[in-house]
Amino acid sequence: MNFDPTEEQQLLAASIARFVEREYAFETRRRIVASPEGASRDVWRTMAKLGLVGLPLPAEYGGFGGGAMDSFALMEAIGGALIVEPWLATVALGAQLVARGGSDEQKRQLLPRIAEGQRTMAFAHAETGARHSLSHVAVRATPNGQGHVITGTKRAVANAGAADTLVVSVRSAGGDTDREGISLFAVERSAPGLSTHPLRMLDGTRAADVVLDGVRVARDAAIGAPGEALPLIEDVVDFATALICAEAVGAIKSANDATLDYLKTRKQFGVPIGSFQALQHRMVDLAIEHEQVRSMAWLACAAVDSERDVTRRMRTVSAAKVRIADACRRVSQESIQLHGGMGMSDELKVSHTFRRLTAIAQQFGDADHHLARLAALDR
Amino acid sequence: MNFDPTEEQQLLAASIARFVEREYAFETRRRIVASPEGASRDVWRTMAKLGLVGLPLPAEYGGFGGGAMDSFALMEAIGGALIVEPWLATVALGAQLVARGGSDEQKRQLLPRIAEGQRTMAFAHAETGARHSLSHVAVRATPNGQGHVITGTKRAVANAGAADTLVVSVRSAGGDTDREGISLFAVERSAPGLSTHPLRMLDGTRAADVVLDGVRVARDAAIGAPGEALPLIEDVVDFATALICAEAVGAIKSANDATLDYLKTRKQFGVPIGSFQALQHRMVDLAIEHEQVRSMAWLACAAVDSERDVTRRMRTVSAAKVRIADACRRVSQESIQLHGGMGMSDELKVSHTFRRLTAIAQQFGDADHHLARLAALDR
Amino acid sequence: MNFDPTEEQQLLAASIARFVEREYAFETRRRIVASPEGASRDVWRTMAKLGLVGLPLPAEYGGFGGGAMDSFALMEAIGGALIVEPWLATVALGAQLVARGGSDEQKRQLLPRIAEGQRTMAFAHAETGARHSLSHVAVRATPNGQGHVITGTKRAVANAGAADTLVVSVRSAGGDTDREGISLFAVERSAPGLSTHPLRMLDGTRAADVVLDGVRVARDAAIGAPGEALPLIEDVVDFATALICAEAVGAIKSANDATLDYLKTRKQFGVPIGSFQALQHRMVDLAIEHEQVRSMAWLACAAVDSERDVTRRMRTVSAAKVRIADACRRVSQESIQLHGGMGMSDELKVSHTFRRLTAIAQQFGDADHHLARLAALDR
Amino acid sequence: MNFDPTEEQQLLAASIARFVEREYAFETRRRIVASPEGASRDVWRTMAKLGLVGLPLPAEYGGFGGGAMDSFALMEAIGGALIVEPWLATVALGAQLVARGGSDEQKRQLLPRIAEGQRTMAFAHAETGARHSLSHVAVRATPNGQGHVITGTKRAVANAGAADTLVVSVRSAGGDTDREGISLFAVERSAPGLSTHPLRMLDGTRAADVVLDGVRVARDAAIGAPGEALPLIEDVVDFATALICAEAVGAIKSANDATLDYLKTRKQFGVPIGSFQALQHRMVDLAIEHEQVRSMAWLACAAVDSERDVTRRMRTVSAAKVRIADACRRVSQESIQLHGGMGMSDELKVSHTFRRLTAIAQQFGDADHHLARLAALDR
């Protein structure tokens, strides 16, 4: 396993670094988060122009045909700069479901405009009580004429309030937690009967509860074969999970750098705080944590790109998420504590990195969830 | 040591519970936090009417002459309901400095109006790089005519943007971290040269950086003997630290109750989540944590009320804060995790209890700080 | 709750301290552990003469009528000096079952000779796969003439190889893990068909597997009503558990003292190791742990002495054991580590305290077991 | 980085596995440990015949010219089977110092007989208060005629009581902890004035304090240039540290396998213990730990084999040891606990794996030591 980036990946990383430096200073981010939309359409278009939105989308539909490893540096940057634009919801989830499971017509319709930055997407999947279980889908789609009618509620869907198109998971057969019988439909946010109820998340990002009240969907809105969507969902959510691990790597690096900088520049009793032995040891420990987390995230991205054995893919992704969730908790708490009280204030970036790390630990399943998945895989 | 409340304390607790139930529902709190001031003058006046503001203030100046133990139930309620009104800043810090160190004239001037809920206070003490060290005071007061002139900045002072009167610590002699040479002055927020720069804290409370640019203070604004304020500051901050431990007890109880309730009512795969063995064990562990934290907080409150030996008082308070900071971290992380992802959303109270617990772990010194203080006491 | 000992308890503690100093130096203990029996009959008789064996046995049968709190100082000394003589097996378990559940005739026969130090006992209860569950009793007693015949194996019974009399738990009715149907019999170790297979435990104490191959017991050998022994067993094991918590307190104190002493006297790079800030903080943390553990152990001893509500007694004992098991693990690991590698050698007492703490964490149920018991009590 | 073994390495691993299966069953090991010497000369000769002793010794002196990665499988087997024969002391330390720093004559004299299994060695280095610091050498060598006279004590030297030849570190110049001024001498154990005082270690291995009372060494007994031995010592101790990390991997695997086996075969309340969800999750967590530890150990072995930059070599080795020391503590405690009390008995292998893991965590420096080394490297 080679953990070093290719030359192409290095060039991309340099371009991303320039973008972040120029366009996503912490002050800019603060303004974006405080704005009514909570994300910037301008920034999104710039990302699209730089090719960052199309990175892991198919080349024939305007993307660059990359994989998770090609998106690693971007995710590190998203984690490092706390970028709130809906890359994960749009590219890693919504468009990815279309790219991997959609019809040619759906791809033609949706993907180029996504890659160009004209539209964003969301994946409306989680429901009350699901606790990260992907097969827990109780919202029903009832056959009706040539299509279906959907009624029910999806919870805390990232970017749902702003997305142009939502991919909605529904149950078309079986019990509420059966593996069989789950279908996906592409639904416009403007569809009659669909309403969104905005939520602010701990990490400053926006989400929304999505209420579907008799929303009609045509047959050709189905993504993939009806009733058989779970493997596709698992595939795409593993892809996004591997990517969020890379985001964690960037956020952890940012937290560690901020803490180290703080300790080196602040003085107590006349000497830099960072000269205290106990603090040095903890910083070194956090640096080791970052190295380990980076290896785990890299392995997870490699697995979602190349591992054909689904069980082995799941095992690698879940093992990475278990350790990375732990690392998120540890690093976030340590960085707050090592800032000596100042980490509580909104004005310090580390306070926001703390929040994002706390959220990443939970997103797509916490350590408990992935330990349970691993235990089930071994059975 | 009797950990059970007296009958009088029980009556008070019942009255507080009624107040919280009627006037501080989570929705009300949300509106208050989102308001421009970030705290409600109405709620504050109600608290004053119920005698809660004057609880630990001297009876001869409109208070009830109670101590930390008498305020225990109130602090538990403040932690449980996440009350953001500035009780700690006003009563446990600002007014307490006056009550314990001020002249009769100062007490007469300030305390009755505090107890009646007409005014609030703040304690402007922390500075850049101090990391919880109480003797780190670099802001200087220069003698000038009959009084002094103060120039410098105080960081992240709770309630500073709203307080009517600030108690400001300054250095009148010695080096920046000497124990000798620290003085306190009561300064009106409206004083010429004093400006505040608002900060939002992670826990939703408001604070402000206080910039003093040639603020003039008269000689009779000094609280206690000039240059000898540190023991008074240590006394009052220990008092507030013991009280915040009680607040943690209430917040931990609230987080545990919310988690237990969540686990009992939500179902996964057809059974209540709370029937899973692993989760039950963790809930039991959290309940033990609450019991232990309660004992530690009670001992700390007893110590600040009755322990005459300063070293022993400090030892008890610091030991309590060390353990309670650990418990805050553990309980906050566990409650988020046990909510299975839903704890990330602003709409759930537990997300806010998480924030407050994270803040309490830091406030008045984290575990590191109090371990260091304990080590220094033993030397 | 008053955690301070009475005057009488202080006198006893002083007498115990003298005994330990004179008769149980670490070198003496080393010789005793290496001896064929692994315990000293001389030391046992001295303990009996000092009244330590009869401490919690009924006064009318040669004891002193004390409880767990009266035995607290003795258990701390047993933990501190790593006394391997079979006090717990004999007095807290075997004789205690007789004292609480036996007939007058049984008490007359057994207890005075126990109190005088002439005989020792053991409680043969644990079986393969029981994992601390007290109701897991699969060894059967078959009615036979006027008595019963017992066949089966009891595992790792402390002092079984040396005890004169064993109390053996058997199933006389029901399934292997039913609460009903458990009986107790007093059996002489010399009984035909009973053999013991010696085991050395990690902590240097001796135990034995007890094989019962058609052992005949008379009807009057039954302790308490046949089939109804479980509440008595739970009562006595809670008593012993509370006492082992007190032993942990003594062992933790001893480990902390040894570590502190080591850090103060050893120098590295010309300064005492103990002057390193990081180590000081950890020592302070361990001292807080000792204080907390002492409170928990004291509450557990008070509960087994006075709490009439069985559920509340169990809750207090289990909560104490959960925390004390954690503390045993933490303190044992820290003390080894803080000894900087030297703690690995048999010649240092701390290496043996490490082992005993590791064993105490498991004995009568580890943290997992007691969390499960607590969860079951709350159901 | 390729973590998979080469074909040659696989063949070797198979041969080692056969050796362990045939010659080192747990019962055999128990007898060896209980024997007066505490290690078996027969086993040692078999290991030599299989080429295991000469594995990382130079081919021109009877070895196989391998490195740490070639010895990885052997170390895993040593950890898995708890082999107590003095491979590390002889091959990774004593003979390695000769192979890397000795004269041709010394190599000719010593190495072939080592590789053939005729002699064993030890490295007498640690002193009172050194706490893993390699530059702490206070034992002095005084020039005397053509050679030197050594007086002083070396502490807890592995295999010192049985080794034929000891490599002894001494100070020939400078202060007790200076980096300059350290020399190495090869000394026969039979040398006049040298005596050994046996110690048993927690993990069942034998060590000895080495007292040098005017031991005379000739000039040509010096290994390497006088006064400049520290880099050689650091090189060889890093080599041994990387190897002990591989031993930890084997011991952790063995502990995990034993625990899994225990959980699968034992039943409680009629179902296999291993079917309990909470235990499954912990087993999965331990399996992830094993995977991570294996990667870290592999990187450390690769670094000591190929990394020419000393600082980077040290960084990789120390980072591995930090994490592996943590893993040793976690896995050892968990395996004892998951065995539900039975892990305390000497008869279970897991009780001995627990001890060895506890020792490995300390050997060549615990997590504290290596964090301090990393912090110093970064300065």
The full DSSP string for B135-188 is T----EEEEETTEEEEEEEEEEEETTTT-SEEEEEEE-SS-TT-SSSEEEEEEE
CB of D2 within 8 Å of any CB in chain B?
A: no
Instruction: Please name the residue ranges forming H helices in chain A.
Output: 7-23, 26-34, 41-49, 72-81, 87, 95-101, 104-115, 230-265, 277-306, 310-338, 349-362, 367-378
Q: In chain A, whose CA is at the least distance from the CA of C279?
A: A278
| Residue range D37-74, pLDDT digits in tens | 999 999 999 999 999 999 999 999 999 999 999 999 99
Distances (CA, A) of B194 to B39, B149, B162, B166: 22, 11, 13, 10
- Which chain B residues contact residue A201 at CB under 8 A? 344-346
Give me A220's structure tokens: 């050709």
Give me B118's structure tokens: 């007409």
Mean pLDDT of B245-255: 98
Mean pLDDT of C159-177: 96
Q: How many residues does chain C have?
A: 379
Q: In chain A, whose CA is at the least distance from the CA of D374?
A: A284
| Residue range B230-242, pLDDT digits in tens | 999 999 999 999 9
| Residue range A248-268, pLDDT digits in tens | 999 999 999 999 998 888 776
Spatial separation of the C-alpha atoms in residues B123 and B173, rounded to whole Å: 20
Write down the pLDDT at residue C129: 81
What average pLDDT does the structure give for chain D?
Answer: 94
Place of tokens 């997103």: A363
Element (H, E) at D8: helix D7-23
CB of D281 within 8 Å of any CB in chain B?
A: yes
Interface test with D, best of C153, C241, C283, C344 (most D CBs within 10 A): C344
Tell me the three state secondary structure of residue B229. Answer: coil
Mean pLDDT of D85-109: 98
Mean pLDDT of B210-238: 96
User: How many CA atoms, within 13 angstroms, populate the side-chain half-sphere of residue B126?
Assistant: 21
CA distance C276 to chain A (A): 8
Spatial separation of the C-alpha atoms in residues D31 and D38, rounded to whole Å: 9
pLDDT band at A3 (very low <50, low <70, confident <90, very high): low
Under 8 Å between Cβ of C14 and C185: no
Q: In chain A, whose CA is at the least distance from the CA of C275?
A: A277
Q: Are strands A194-200 and A182-188 parallel, antiparallel or unpaired?
A: unpaired
Write down the pLDDT at residue B106: 97
Q: Which of A281, A372, A378 sits opposite D375 (nearest CB)?
A: A281
Under 8 Å between Cβ of A331 and A287: no
Residues 6+ apart with CB under 8 A from D283: A375, D256, D259, D260, D263, D274, D338
Mean pLDDT of C192-219: 96
Write down the pLDDT at residue C202: 92
Q: ∠C364-C368-C373 over CA atoms, to 5°?
A: 70
Contact C323 B283 (CB under 8 A): no
Q: In chain B, whose CA is at the least distance from the CA of A179?
A: B269
Write down the pLDDT at residue B1: 44
Mean pLDDT of B156-165: 97
Contact B277 C371 (CB under 8 A): no
Q: In chain D, whose CA is at the least distance from the CA of A288?
A: D319
With a pLDDT cut of 70, the percent of chain A lying above it is: 98
Tell me the three state secondary structure of residue B260. Answer: helix
Write down the pLDDT at residue B277: 78
Under 8 Å between Cβ of B91 and B114: yes
Least confident among A329-333, B265-269, B307-311, C212-216? B265-269
Phi and psi at D374, nearest 5°, equal -60, -45
Write down the pLDDT at residue C1: 44
Distances (CA, A) of D322 to A13, A299, C262, D301, D365: 31, 22, 23, 15, 9
pLDDT band at D231 (very low <50, low <70, confident <90, very high): very high
pLDDT band at B112 (very low <50, low <70, confident <90, very high): very high
Mean pLDDT of D132-152: 94
> Which of the two residues, C279 and A356, has the higher pLDDT score?
A356
Contact D368 C269 (CB under 8 A): no
Place of tokens 């601390």: C132
With a pLDDT cut of 70, the percent of chain D lying above it is: 98
CA diameter of chain A: 78
Q: Which residues of B157-180 are buried (b: 16+ CB within 10 A; e: fewer)?
A: bbbbbbbbbbbbbbbbeeebbeee
| Residue range A193-216, pLDDT digits in tens | 999 999 999 999 999 999 999 999
Spatial separation of the C-alpha atoms in residues B48 and B55, rounded to whole Å: 9
Place of tokens 């007693």: C141
Least confident among C273-277, C310-314, D286-290? C273-277
Spatial separation of the C-alpha atoms in residues B323 and B363, rounded to whole Å: 14
Other C-beta atoms closer than 10 Å to the C-beta of D208 total 24
Element (H, E) at C368: helix C367-377
Decide: residue A211, CB within 10 A, 0-12 exposed, 13-18 middle, 19+ buried: middle
Is pLDDT of D317 > 70? yes
Interface test with A, best of B136, B354, B358 (most A CBs within 10 A): B358
- C-alpha A83: how far from chain center: 11
CA distance D356 to chain C (A): 10
Is pLDDT of A50 > 90? yes
Write down the pLDDT at residue D340: 79
Instruction: Please name the residue ranges forming H helices in B36-103.
Output: 41-49, 72-81, 87, 95-101
Place of tokens 């017991």: C217
Write down the pLDDT at residue A301: 97
Strand locations in C76-202 (E): 121-124, 140-144, 147-158, 165-171, 182-188, 194-200
What average pLDDT does the structure give for chain A?
Answer: 94
Q: Which of B275, B17, B230 lies closest to B136, judged by CA?
A: B230
Q: Which of D277, D280, D295 sits opposite A295 (nearest CB)?
A: D295
- Which chain B residues contact residue C295 at CB under 8 A? 295
What ipTM was estimated for this complex? 0.90
CB of C278 within 8 Å of any CB in chain D?
A: yes
pLDDT band at D1 (very low <50, low <70, confident <90, very high): very low
Least confident among C266-280, D4-18, D83-97, D128-142? C266-280
Mean pLDDT of A326-337: 94
Q: DSSP string covering D282-343, please? A: HHHHHHHHHHHHHHHHHHHHHHHHH---HHHHHHHHHHHHHHHHHHHHHHHHHHHHHTTTGG
pLDDT band at A46 (very low <50, low <70, confident <90, very high): very high
Write down the pLDDT at residue C268: 67
CA distance D262 to chain C (A): 9
What are the residues facing A141 on neighbouring strands?
Answer: A150
Q: DSSP string covering A76-128, please? A: HHHHHHT--SSHIIIIIIIHHHHHHHS-HHHHHHHHHHHHTTS--EEEE---T
Interface test with A, best of B134, B154, B197, B202 (most A CBs within 10 A): B202
Write down the pLDDT at residue B269: 64
| Residue range C7-31, pLDDT digits in tens | 888 889 999 999 999 999 999 999 9
Residues 6+ apart with CB under 8 A from D25: none
Under 8 Å between Cβ of A145 and A114: no
Write down the pLDDT at residue B266: 77
Residues 6+ apart with CB under 8 A from D274: D260, D263, D264, D280, D283
Contact D207 C345 (CB under 8 A): yes
State the amino acid at position C72 in one-letter form: F
In C343-372, the residues whose Cβ lies within 8 Å of chain B are 368, 371-372
Under 8 Å between Cβ of B162 and B120: yes
